[in-house]
Amino acid sequence: MAGAIEVTNSLVIAPDELQWRFSRAGGPGGQGVNTTDSRVQLSWDVANSPALTDVQRERLSTRLGNRLVDGVLTVTAAEYRSQKRNREAASTRLAAAVREALAPPPRTRRPTRPTRGSVERRIAGKKQRSETKRLRRSTD
């Protein structure tokens, strides 16, 4: 079918780990849309993949938990009229999803306090607004 998918320099998904399924896609295509299986579904078994270390497998299952069905990640591509381009799009999407999930978590935010000047500007603005509203009130 297709070659290996290089996710990162150290992680390459072998072609025998991937499962490809093809079906008819909707959308433009003229007469050929009813006969061509251009929609592509690419599945990869994350839970049983020998390409992953235990740490990577745990991180993927945690971060992609809502996208995994029985430990299998499935990506669909149907935006192109040709099966070949949809295959390329599906493999690119799969690599991007795995790369994003394997990325180290972002640094935790260290809370900061607002500067004295920003606090004073905020309070001055509130006082100005309060004064404006006070002057609009009727004096009965």
Tokens representing 37 are 């299986």
5-102 topology per CATH: Double Stranded RNA Binding Domain (3.30.160)
Q: What pLDDT does 34 receive?
A: 63
Distance of CA 13 to CAs 2, 47, 86, 119, 135, Å?
Answer: 11, 13, 18, 53, 70
Task: Report domain extents, the chain.
Answer: 5-102
Query: What is the CA angle 118-122-126, rounded to 5?
Result: 170
Cα–Cα dist 140/111, whole Å: 48
What per-residue confidence (pLDDT) applies to 32?
62
Provide the pLDDT for residue 113: 95
Nearest in space to 46 (alpha carbons), one of 37, 31, 28, 58: 58
pLDDT in tens, the chain (140 residues): 467 777 777 788 888 888 888 887 766 666 666 667 778 888 888 888 888 888 888 888 888 888 888 888 888 888 887 788 888 898 889 888 888 888 888 899 999 999 999 999 999 999 999 999 999 998 76
